[in-house]
Amino acid sequence: DTEVTQTPKHLVMGMTNKKSLKCEQHMGHRAMYWYKQKAKKPPELMFVYSYEKLSINESVPSRFSPECPNSSLLNLHLHALQPEDSALYLCASSQQFVPGALYGYTFGSGTRLTVV
Amino acid sequence: GQQLNQSPQSMFIQEGEDVSMNCTSSSIFNTWLWYKQDPGEGPVLLIALYKAGELTSNGRLTAQFGITRKDSFLNISASIPSDVGIYFCAGLPNTGTASKLTFGTGTRLQVTL
């Protein structure tokens, strides 16, 4: 299995709703990431988890709450979002580089989030 | 956040033509990655470069890691319609367990028949 699986693929939520995005990988990668991508822009890092611990938070508002229940799963809990939070949310995972092996920094297909 | 300078911003080419794009940075990176992104999908890794001066191929794609470690180039030979998409370079400071990718601004490629 060489994939990062994200669910749901599309999500529409109101500003008072609470929802969660889910990400799963079974490649044994010990680092997992959340990126946010606005239209016609490159992905921007939000959070980094290393060995299930939060290692980087790029000053993301508290209405976004990440969680890493185990080494294969990564969640992003959403609460009280604003319309400007509408974007493509990408999950990624990576492994430590091993000489002779193809380095993997793999992205999922993303969740298209619309906040109304 | 920091972005890498990627050029050109967009390209319109005919099928069969070769394509070149590049990425420059004010900072040194120890690894360069090139991704392709289709609309509504996540970026897909095309090529990874680990050493300064390295030249690596993946089918019709060839990428080079600049000697200064501050730039990288991607060439696509004999373009076909399925090459359409956005190409991103990305730099990594290291390839440890967890590393922050710094992305280029992207090159949008359109291929006409």
pLDDT digits (tens, 9 = 90+) for A11-38: 999 999 999 999 999 988 889 999 999 9
* Cβ <8 Å between B95 and A97: yes
Q: Nearest-CA residue of chain B relative to A96? A: B97
pLDDT category at A104 given cuts 50, 70, 90 is confident
Identity at A75, one-letter amino acid code: N
* Cβ <8 Å between B95 and A103: yes
Count Cα neighbours of B30 within 13 Å in the Cβ-side half-sphere: 8
pLDDT given at position A95: 83
pLDDT category at A90 given cuts 50, 70, 90 is very high
CB contacts, 8 Å: B35 with chain A: 107
- The torsion angle over the Cα atoms of residues B72, A45, A72 and A106, rounded to 10 degrees, is -20
Residue in B44, B2, B11, B36 with CA at minimum distance from that of residue B112: B11
Name which of B103, B107, B108, B110 to mutate to probe chain A: the one with the most chain A Cβ atoms within 10 A of its Cβ: B103
pLDDT given at position A37: 97
Q: Give the pLDDT mean for B77-105.
A: 88
pLDDT given at position B95: 62
- C-alpha B70: how far from chain center: 13
- What is the token pair recorded at A50? 């290393």
Count Cα neighbours of A11 within 13 Å in the Cβ-side half-sphere: 27
Residue-wise pLDDT tens digits, A34-70 = 999 999 899 999 999 999 999 999 999 999 999 999 9
A57 vs A45, A62, B42, CA distance in Å? 9, 10, 21
Q: Give the pLDDT mean for A106-115.
A: 96
B51 inside 8 A of chain A by CB = no
